[in-house]
């Protein structure tokens, strides 16, 4: 059973969905500016995604333990989706250039 992008998006809360393109842009900027080493960019995006999603959900629902846990999970999902989207773009572009 394969899980596609459509199934993963179902797990992301609509309130934090905006984080995916934001994290893609931040990751691309970090890569171009060489502020962070390439191997550390996913970790940086994960920390940023978790922090921002906790803030988004906390201000909406209150900062209580279940909301903080949900923010952590949503941040990990958003960071993972942003890295996945970036890698998908790289892999498909590189493959097209080789063919």
Q: Assess if residue 20 is contained within a domain.
A: no
Considering the domain boundaries, does residue 1 fall inside one?
A: no
Give the integer Cα–Cα distance in Å for 31 and 37.
8
Residue found under tokens 């934090």: 16
Within a domain: 12: no
Residue 37: pLDDT band (50, 70, 90) is very high
What dihedral angle (degrees, nearest 10) is formed by the CA atoms of 43, 37, 84, 90? 180
Total structural domains within the chain: 1
Does residue 55 sit within a domain? yes
Residue 27: partners with Cβ closer than 8 Å, 6 or more residues away:
41, 42, 44, 45, 82, 83, 86
pLDDT tens digit sequence for 40-84: 999 999 999 999 999 999 999 999 999 999 999 999 999 999 998
The answer to whether 49 and 41 have CB atoms below 8 angstroms apart is no
Kindly report the pTM of this predicted structure. 0.84
Full residue range of the structural domain in which residue 66 is found = 34-99
Residue 19 lies in a domain: no
């Amino acid at each position: 059973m394969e899980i596609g992008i459509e199934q993963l998006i179902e797990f992301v809360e609509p309130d934090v969905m905006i984080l995916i393109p934001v994290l893609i842009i931040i990751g691309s900027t970090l890569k171009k500016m060489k502020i962070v080493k390439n191997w550390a960019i996913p970790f940086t995006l994960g920390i940023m995604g978790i922090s921002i999603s906790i803030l988004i959900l906390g201000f909406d629902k209150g900062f209580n333990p279940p909301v903080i846990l949900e923010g952590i999970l949503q941040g990990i999902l958003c960071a993972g989706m942003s890295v996945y989207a970036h890698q998908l773009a790289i892999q498909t572009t590189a493959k097209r250039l080789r063919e």
